[in-house]
Amino acid sequence: ENWSVELAEQDWLSDTEDGDADDLAQRYDKIKHAVPSDVRKIIEPAFKKIQIDEQMQGRSEEMLVDRLEWILNMPWGVFTADTENFNGVKKSLNDDHFGLEKVKQRIYEYLAVRKLNPSGKSPILCFVGPPGVGKTSLGKSIARALGRKFVRISLGGLHDEAEIRGHRHTYIGAFPGKIIEGIREAGSMNPVFMLDEIEKVGQDWKGDPGSALIEALDPEQNHSFQDNYLRISFDLSQVFFITTANTIDTLRPALRDRMEIVEIPGYIPQEKLQIAKRHLISKQKEANGFPALHAGRTFDLSFCDDAILKMIYDYTDEAGVRNLDRTLSEVFRKTAQNILSGNLPAKDIVEITEQNIHNYCGRTTFSESTLPQGPLSPGVVPVLSVSSSGTGHILFVEVSIGYHPGGRKIVVYGVDASGEQINLGNEIKQSVKIAWDALTSRNCILFDVVRKFEQEVGPMLVSVSLTNLSIAKSGPSAGVPIFLALFGALTEESIRPTSETPLLAATGEITKKMDIISKVGGIREKILAAHRKGIRRVIIPKDNEFDIEDIPKEILEGDERIEIIPESSMLNALRLAYPENTLIKKYVEKKISQKEL
């Protein structure tokens, strides 16, 4: 048996020497002019070794032939020309994606630079945003707009360095890394190469894939990328690398430094509405067989804007549009079932409205409570919040004052949670403590108020509660509304004493010196949520003033416009919230006399 296996191996070797070696040599002669000189110096001796070295037998020759096959199959000298028609690129990107102007602008800038310097290096972009905002599909659109080939690999859960850099060719079953495989699959030296979920790359005893990615994504190194299997320097400088991530918090600094971060924060409801009308509805029509021909009639669906907005607000809670797409699909499936079960619609065009959407989607899932229309009780202030999905919400902080026989006590409700929400709860409790100290410490505005209460009544019980427990709380950005609510509860004054008083909401982090410090995230989403709920005055940190540029103009203009007030002082915020309060006026006069204002 061993003799027969050895004989078969010798027959295969003779075939390889006469056939494969000559075939590889002929193929090499055809592409030799496009192969870099340093690569030729490596592969030409390999050909001679196969043809001359009679001692090479069995597996050694097979591995060498496989390696040469891979090298010759690489697209040496094959480049696709970038589209130079700016208007064509703009039209292609706008047809595929609504909004995302910053990302599109970056592509236009790249084309302009490419036009002036054709030999320049391709950019390395990192799209960062929540799931479902279109990061992957945007990469495909960029490749289509530029006229390049597109390759995508997923890095989620990758732990083996060899998956990126390739295996040593001496191992049985060795093969190149995913980057080399992708280049060969594209058939071009300058494809758009997408590395999905780069923040999920791990490491273990098999190596560190992140370190291998640094070489591939570093413009100063990737012109000579080393793959362990090919053992040659491969030029990746013309590859347009695009990476995606849900967050950059877990991305190693060295890797993040190699990339240009482009944030995609998510779509606002008005953008989701346009995406549904321009893309999702037509997609679901095709997927579900509409217009549907049945019983001699042609049925189709028509969605009014209010119905789509109700799906967005009441049936989904996301930064992207995946769940909205599923909700639209549910409407089409329900309609198809009705048609085939004999429950034919009265009209050929089935109109989906805000009033009948529940017949197709059932009860609402994320319905928000409406804001109170009348006066607010003292100690109640709206809070601008953004959920973990990137959607803006309106919460309420409620503060009440009472007597506690065991000594002064401050209790915070609505923030106790497990897992990732523990830190948020601790941050809110810290904001309550900072607000209390800023208001009631010696020489502060409410020091005498608290002292008088405890002299006449006894130790004070301060209860702080955040409503709507189903929504993740905002952490330190709830500091300003907590501060305003504490002041209202201690002075028994309402932020909205009458129904005619415009409702004021706030967001921002505070200090004991009564400063509103640092910028907070999600300003655009928070402002849109406030406008949607009828709030017309909002206090934001001064450092977030530049974020106003990202808010749609229709929100800032017209009869229903919202007034955005950037502030850096909590004292000014108090004057805005309680303009008739005498304590505030006396405190301001005192500070002016002391030349502190």
Q: CA 231, CA 42: separation in Å to the nearest integer?
A: 9
Q: CA 316, CA 321: separation in Å to the nearest integer?
A: 9
From 188, 389, 477, 494, active-site residue? 477
Residues 172 and 358: beta-carbon distance below 8 Å: no
- Between 14-23, 26-35, 501-510, the lowest mean confidence (pLDDT) is in 14-23
Kindly tell me if the per-residue pLDDT of 83 is higher than 90: no
User: What would the pLDDT profile of 310-332 be if each residue is shown by its tens digit?
Assistant: 998 888 878 788 899 999 999 99
Cα of 368 vs its chain's centroid, Å: 24
**Residue range 135-143: mean pLDDT, rounded:** 87
pLDDT of residue 487: 94
SS (H, E, C) 93-152: HHHHCCCCHHHHHHHHHHHHHHHHCCCCCCCEEEEECCCCCCHHHHHHHHHHHHCCCEEE
Q: CA 213, CA 198: separation in Å to the nearest integer?
A: 9
**Residue range 268-274: mean pLDDT, rounded:** 85
Residue at 578: amino acid letter? Y
- Between 159-168, 294-303, 579-588, the lowest mean confidence (pLDDT) is in 159-168
Containing 386, the helix (H) or strand (E) segment is: strand 380-386
pLDDT of residue 352: 93
526 in catalytic set: yes
Domain covering 86-263 in this structure, CATH number: 3.40.50.300
From 387, 526, 568, 569, active-site residue? 526
- Between 62-76, 341-355, 493-507, the lowest mean confidence (pLDDT) is in 62-76
Is pLDDT larger for residue 56 or for residue 505? 505
User: What would the pLDDT profile of 462-504 be if each residue is shown by its tens digit?
Assistant: 999 886 645 554 567 888 999 999 999 999 999 988 888 888 9
pLDDT of residue 58: 55
**Residue range 569-587: mean pLDDT, rounded:** 90
CA distances from 504 to 61, 273, 495 (A): 78, 27, 7
Which pairing describes strands 240-245 and 124-128: parallel, antiparallel, or unpaired? parallel
pLDDT of residue 206: 64
The pLDDT confidence band at residue 425, using thresholds 50, 70 and 90, is low
**Residue range 109-125: mean pLDDT, rounded:** 79
CATH 3.30.230.10 fits 380-593, yes or no: yes
Residues 198 and 135: beta-carbon distance below 8 Å: no
* DSSP codes, 495-552: SS-STTSPPEEE-BEE-TTSBEES--S-HHHHHHHHHHTT--EEEEEGGGGGGGGGS-
Domain boundaries, the chain: 2-73, 86-263, 269-361, 380-593
477 in catalytic set: yes
**Residue range 346-372: mean pLDDT, rounded:** 84
Q: Hey, CA dihedral for 580, 586, 589, 591, is it positive or negative?
A: negative
pLDDT of residue 101: 81
The pLDDT confidence band at residue 11, using thresholds 50, 70 and 90, is very low
The pLDDT confidence band at residue 422, using thresholds 50, 70 and 90, is very low
**Fold held by 269-361:** Helicase, Ruva Protein; domain 3 (1.10.8)
Is pLDDT larger for residue 141 or for residue 44? 141
Kindly tell me if the per-residue pLDDT of 55 is higher than 60: no
- DSSP H helices in 32-85: 37-52, 59-73
Q: Hey, CA dihedral for 549, 554, 555, 561, is it positive or negative?
A: positive
pLDDT of residue 427: 77
Q: Of 406, 382, 402, which is closest to residue 392 (Cα–Cα)?
A: 382
**Residues forming beta bridges with residue 395, ordered by sequence position:** 383
Instruction: Count the Cβ atoms, other than its own, within 10 Å of residue 105.
Output: 11
pLDDT of residue 469: 47
For residue 234, give every residue at least 6 positions away whose Cβ sits within 8 Å of its Cβ, in sequence order, or none.
74, 180, 183, 224, 225, 226, 227
**Angle at which helices 21-31 and 37-52 pack, to 10 degrees?**
160
